[in-house]
A and B are shown apart, each in its own frame.
Chain A
């Protein structure tokens, strides 16, 4: 590089107002017109639960639901989803209660280090929204874009199956023998 003319790498994209609904709340944010959705979500909206594992669409940690579809936010321009309804891991729970999928991941070993978990939760929620009676291979297809280095996927599949059972209403989730309450705000028997 010595002696060569240096070309600036600072992007000079103009700032735009970015409008979308994130986890049920309308956002109006000033962001460069070429901003990546992952950056906007993490750095501007404050959704730090959306993880950056690779920045190139290979790990699935950054998945979010855009209008109900699971998408990789690291490969999505923020501008593409102006006006969309975006749900990140922070928006999955039902008020103070964990969503069934969250509860089952916590209880069935679906999460070890937890870094891949937000992405898996999004992919599996998207599946369960359409199909509450998935086969193991349908589950595998739904999470094939998500990489987990800790669990070997098996307990993740079990977690999703037990969440599916709750969605169908046929079972209460597989209760572990211990009494540690997975839902921080258990709603009681009613």
Chain B
């Protein structure tokens, strides 16, 4: 046992015991330093897993990280650590960065959809007093783009403009009025070209494609990317007992974040660029800036400001960021560019407008014998994330159901619209809606309950999808059961009166993308976190995770606090600057909690070990007997024997000063070998099921969603408050897409509603009452079991609402958003067809269960046992999609059955029968033209 440890001066109150002053002289009470609690808190056993002697139930089994749980913060409703900055108005967003001597930049944008830029005359602008810099595309000839395979953007037009609002030139002046004036003085001569607006026309050969990809160009079309995938045995589809055929149209959707883009660029006195921008992925911007400005990456410091909402819309490197840097370099002064709301719509990167056709098949046993999907997606003027989107539209439909076959054809085409890109639920949302509505229709045709149909066809935990995705934890079953119970489904479905309806929808999404697109995942990690603790005991955590409001900073702070058993206020996360944060891919594809928190845990464990070693030396107790708790380390067997955190820290610092540790995360090897196998591959997947209740006014077609029961499997809720916030927020955003939001392009191809008045985001009055239900499936590789909760929860709300509308009025409208005019048109069409005079007399769908209902109920009970055992790891045998169809679970079906196909190119016999998007495969790539192949 050691001598008493002297506290930092001033850290405790003046306390007297028996007339003697004892404060500051007690051996370990109050322990450590920092924090606002005067006494050490007891271990919170409610938040320590049962297996570690606590009281936290573990229905989904134990986790690797259980032994590092200290009951400090994980699982507790934790306010965001940067919340106070936000509620006091001190959070600094893009336009809040004000540097001394700043000047204001403006961008000159194209008024044409598609045109050659013949000449630009900047002389009048340059002559205007107060103008300090003018720049055009000639100043920045280097291409960039978010994906290394499709770098097709320039800072400003080099040769052509590709959509209204495309960047042509930029100016910087002493104030905004002068900058606007100068922008208007720039004279551009255009030669207008034939624009493509309809994505279907993008499939055709044209004289002047929007981009030219040389030998990789597909014919001379505007097809940017095409995908073909065929898995399983499609020969059985003919014998299907029920089929569904859905032809869908989805309008483009904008992220609608409240903060318009803004950027401040400043070349510091040493000639380094300091760029302030609200970016989700500062690292991509960093790379692109270095390329375009032709400076080494280490001469650029990207400073991520607070981000006023991202949702995927702030993840591309943007041309206006380059413009600000170019102007600032020319003018020798800091340049600030802030967008109008209209400009936000010109850069867009929102959800792709799409034409999606799906066919679903169910056999005599109500098994899903096949999904056939054809997706034509309208990419707008640039590639952006389009390569990935083209895959996601298909491959993210391969779970949660076990499939007999899967066939996907997809094509993304360039059109002369603002570019589409990544938006919350990237690529998965539209297809998921079509598929889940199809499931509902299959259930109707099989005369079974749609929830039971789903329950009887789920892939179990620890399984492989038909395309080879590795599913680990899987809470789909619980999610379905919980929403069924919560919504009182069994007494409402097909029993509500006309105008009231209830519907179900499911979701499946990646938790982090398996492939870091700029490097080999075996050679550099996905995420790295550094921890540094100096004498004062405060813990500084460096991470590149970009907090865009989802609370990534809080999540990283939480896991470090949990491992080190320190109060949250002792953890300081530094994540704003690329100079200090390790390289990180930022906030997209729902990777942050999974990857950064894992990296942070690894780093914290290193620190923990150093602290325990030091404590063990001080106390002469073996490290494995020591327990960390709230700034104190003590002997498990004799809690009176202990030392304070600070004392152990100082001991471990004796020879090296500050404690420093680094942790990294890298995905395990996984996935198939076919072309495109990496798309959609993730270390974990989230699952969700929603039930929505709606009211439809049959006389006007107005839909009101009244209640939503939203169950989401996030593995483990590190912070239930934030998870619920994500679920409700996702509901809001998805509800916008299904009921009111659309980017409307008029007959001449102009975007008609680039503002928040005509682009209709649901207000508080349109919001239903959402009951968030958190499902914890405890992911074996997630940090403390956690998976994503940011994007997946958006998927199910769309089909749940569409299905509920059918339940209410017996009509399916396959054209989102379901605005009153469309719904009313469908109602009156049906009235005409069926000769109904009063809309109040519309028939309401009812159901009589067939013999299959009992059969699938039995199957789902059996599967329930199977899944429970697999979830708790009592059964760890391999399970490959196909078992339900009679295959050996351990051998891939293609090795068992000659008819089981895996193909990523259509063979010549198939070319005729491909759908709309599939027809892109009838074109020949330029490099294969000569040999006519």
Q: Which residues of A contact B (CB under 8 A)?
A: 1-2, 6, 8-11, 47-56, 58-59, 61, 88-90, 92-93, 98, 102-103, 105-109, 111-118, 121, 140, 143-144, 146-157, 176-184, 186
Contacts and interface: CB of A to CB of B under 8 A. Distances in A.
Interface in B703-737: 721-722, 724-725, 728-733
Contacts of A52: 95, 260, 338
A107 B258 contact: no
Given A1-B187, A55-B341, A143-B764, A48 B98 contact: yes
A22 B732 CA distance: 35
B793 to A, nearest CB: 10
B89 A118 contact: yes
B311 A149 contact: yes
Nearest to A117: B86
Interface in B335-387: 338, 340-341
A147 B728 contact: no
B729 A152 contact: yes
A98 B83 CA distance: 12
B724 A109 contact: yes
Contacts of B569: 180-181
B180 A9 contact: yes
A35 to B, nearest CB: 11
B84 A184 contact: yes
Interface string B38-81: 00010000000000000000000000000000000100111111
Contact of A149 (B88, B257, B551): B257
B214 to A, nearest CB: 34
Contact of B756 (A10, A59, A153): A59
A147 B763 contact: yes
Contacts of B78: 176-178, 180
A144 to B, nearest CB: 6
Nearest to B96: A48
A132 B308 CA distance: 30
A151 B728 contact: yes
A92 to B, nearest CB: 8
B178 interface: yes
A59 B152 CA distance: 34
Interface of B: 35-37, 41, 73, 76-93, 95-96, 98, 124, 177-178, 180-181, 184-185, 187, 189, 255-260, 306-311, 338, 340-341, 548-551, 567-569, 721-722, 724-725, 728-733, 755-757, 761, 763-765, 767, 769-770
B728 A154 contact: yes
B93 A179 contact: no
Majority secondary structure of chain A interface residues (helix, strand, loop or mixed): loop
A45 to B, nearest CB: 12
Contacts of B550: 112
B381 to A, nearest CB: 23
A144 B549 contact: no
Contacts of A51: 93, 258-259, 308
Contact of A98 (B82, B88, B722, B732): B88
Given A48-B96, A51-B258, A155-B724, A179 B41 contact: yes
Nearest to A118: B89
A10 B183 CA distance: 12
B229 to A, nearest CB: 34
Contacts of A111: 80, 83, 86-87
Contacts of B731: 152
A152 B732 contact: yes
Given A56-B757, A150-B549, A152-B731, A109 B721 contact: yes
A47 B89 contact: yes
Nearest to A2: B187
- Shortest 4 CB-CB contacts between residues of A and residues of B: A49-B89, A113-B549, A114-B86, A115-B308
B189 A2 contact: yes
Contacts of A156: 764
Given A149-B256, A179-B567, A106 B77 contact: no
Contacts of A98: 84, 87-88
A146 to B, nearest CB: 8
Contacts of B77: 176-178
Contacts of A92: 88
A154 B35 CA distance: 31
Contact of A114 (B91, B260, B311, B733): B91
